[in-house]
Amino acid sequence: MKLKRSAAARFCAAIILISALISLLSCANYDETVITDVGEYDELWELPELRTVERPAVFPETLDGMNVEKFSGTHTTYFPLGTGWQVELCAAFDEDGIKDEEARLEKICAGSPVCGESDYFEMPAFASVWNENYCFAYAVVNEDEGEVTYVYLQLIEEGDLTISDYAVPKNYEMEMETAK
């Protein structure tokens, strides 16, 4: 009788160990796509599981004629946890162009907690999505340099951010914890 329990105990332990190993391996699987070619800007927004349904309104519809200084889009699927997005686009404008862009952004952010001066940034910022379903879509305007930095973040923890420091909202980790 003692041998039967011992064999049954070893069998159960083996099943538990195999199940734990399978769970660990499945959580470690991920697929990452990094796009830095401005020519692939439109394709970036066609990748799956964008929680805002479409390209966030703060981002330009097209980059044609824009002076893009920096562009990086990272799309990471964490199986089975979800998809992380991190997009940063920095564009330079002349004096009239930055005023026009700031006026466009101000119309978009009406009703947002981030619309112009805010507690989250040192510079004016305009958000079309702010902390909704762990997503942020906003633009930070550096009037002195004539630049606008557009950012989209989805399911990205502060330690994993690769965007420019000035474009990271103050208290970002705390904001993630209070997502709607």
Tens digits of pLDDT across the chain (180 residues): 454 567 777 877 778 777 655 554 555 556 788 999 999 999 888 887 777 767 899 999 999 989 999 999 998 887 666 788 999 999 999 999 999 999 999 999 988 999 999 999 999 999 999 988 889 999 999 999 999 999 999 988 888 899 999 999 998 876 666 666
Residue 155: phi and psi, rounded to 5, are 55, 45
Residue 132 lies in a domain: yes
Residue 69 lies in a domain: yes
Domain count, the chain: 1
Residue 22 lies in a domain: no
Residue 85 lies in a domain: yes
Residue 15 lies in a domain: no
Separation between Cα atoms, residue 15 and residue 123, nearest integer Å: 56
**pTM assigned to the model:** 0.81
Rounded (5°) CA angle 123-163-126: 35
Residue 90 lies in a domain: yes
Residue 4 lies in a domain: no
Residues 6+ apart with CB under 8 A from 172: 158, 161
Residue 25 lies in a domain: no
Rounded (5°) CA angle 64-74-166: 80
Answer whether 150's CB lies under 8 Å from 141's CB: no
Range of the domain at 134: 30-177
